[in-house]
Chain A
């Protein structure tokens, strides 16, 4: 049966009026075979591969956009965790920074705006090379433009590496101090239970269980979901879940088709579709506004967590029906600075850091893109990270933190980052420090639920 006018119009409106897009096509690239005891041959092999495949990614994405008329907003590359590649090399900051610069230059040459994977898996402990990489993060990320970092500091199986968590408070402060409004910290996320195939920055990397190449795709349609919720103002919550499911099914199918065809064109294996709802600063492309269209007065007010849980559950059910390859994070992103509704709620005092943390217990991505006062001590930053990661560890899910300690700013100030990163009201943080807890260090043992065999 040929497609009806109504069906065509529904799809066309999704892209023209409701910001439906393929948010990212991210090519995972294995670099393990580039490892060398000398940095020069390592960087040369890495550069050649990234430039070749990055350019191919851009060319194929352009072809697919022409064919299907669905915008592909970002084309990105994720690589093997850099710490692995640096293991045989001298443990100096200069080595790490040189490698970061080589990755940055390759991304620039391939016209890739962000390259992920500059990080390490240290949930249980840290090797000398990993320690060295972490120490070099402020310099490496502030001297490069396109490199994104990630660190897996915790997992349900290993518990929380509190030595690394304690260190990250200092590292993030240092990184923030090297950039205007602390924006350098937008390029690094710390995780519990990080997925190996997440296509979204800043946390993307090409995990060690992945093949040589893997094309992962992130779809996004908060505007589309908000529209369908707004069109159903009076139905009960069971019915509302059904209409969200049906809509997410459709956009996931579009993502699956485009991902498969992109992978075929490039001659690489297709990985996953990440069905996360990712907001942008464009008007109407907001996750907070979906929650508000559901009937919650403003995100952060009572009812928000329940509404978000219902939303994500419906997103997952619709997505899982549409594709056998749903993976990555596949939850809902609620970055403060990149979502107009979130910004409004923080500014109005409806959404506090504590409620934001509660929301992340039903939302996969964690505390994202939020600013705290510049005089927040490192131990408090570590405390915020430990709290958020423990939600992930205890609930066997991914959580992450992307925090911006804004130098010289205090609670209530508004930071303007511009572009995709939006603007962030600086959030109030309780002044009472838990530094004695953080400074105990060691490892928070894995929860009993990890003993499943």
Chain B
């Protein structure tokens, strides 16, 4: 029997203009919700700042709808588009 807890990875995507404090704000939201950040990447794509953050929501203290509300608030305050989606949608679309 494995001792590992099942993980449920979601990808948070931030698009817009890079500025100070994006990671800090998102990390605060995640920490408060007991969500572990697994990985962070960022790039400039087609002149747009794109950051992806892989998070594990398996142990999250709040539901997806609440997480979305918090992320929407951060997005609104910082003029960014923020989405959160289960990782499997990307795996289905981009991995054969």
Residue ranges of A at the interface with B (Cβ–Cβ < 8 Å): 1-12, 16, 66-70, 250-251, 253-254, 256-258
Contacts and interface: CB of A to CB of B under 8 A. Distances in A.
Given A8-B52, A9-B15, A66-B65, A3 B86 contact: no
11 contacts: A2-B39, A5-B43, A7-B90, A7-B94, A8-B11, A9-B15, A12-B83, A69-B83, A70-B85, A256-B92, A257-B89
A253 B51 CA distance: 24
Interface size class of B (residues with CB under 8 A): 20 to 34
Interface in B1-44: 11, 13, 15, 39, 41-43
Interface string B37-79: 0010111010010111010000000001100100000000000
B91 A3 contact: yes
Contacts of B88: 68, 257
Contacts of B64: 66-67
Contacts, number: 76
Given A1-B95, A8-B13, A258-B89, 11 more contacts: A2-B54, A3-B52, A4-B41, A5-B41, A11-B93, A66-B65, A67-B64, A67-B85, A68-B89, A253-B92, A257-B89
A3 B94 contact: yes
Given A67-B64, A69-B83, A250-B94, A11 B89 contact: yes
B12 to A, nearest CB: 10
Contacts of A66: 64-65, 68
A1 B87 CA distance: 12
B87 A3 contact: yes
A251 B42 contact: no
Nearest to A253: B92
- Lowest 4 A-B CB distances belong to which pairs? A69-B85, A257-B92, A3-B90, A250-B93
A253 B93 contact: yes
B84 A69 contact: yes
Contacts of A251: 93
B11 A3 contact: yes
Contacts of B41: 4-5
A144 B54 CA distance: 48
Given A16-B81, A67-B86, A69-B85, A9 B50 contact: yes
Nearest to B63: A66
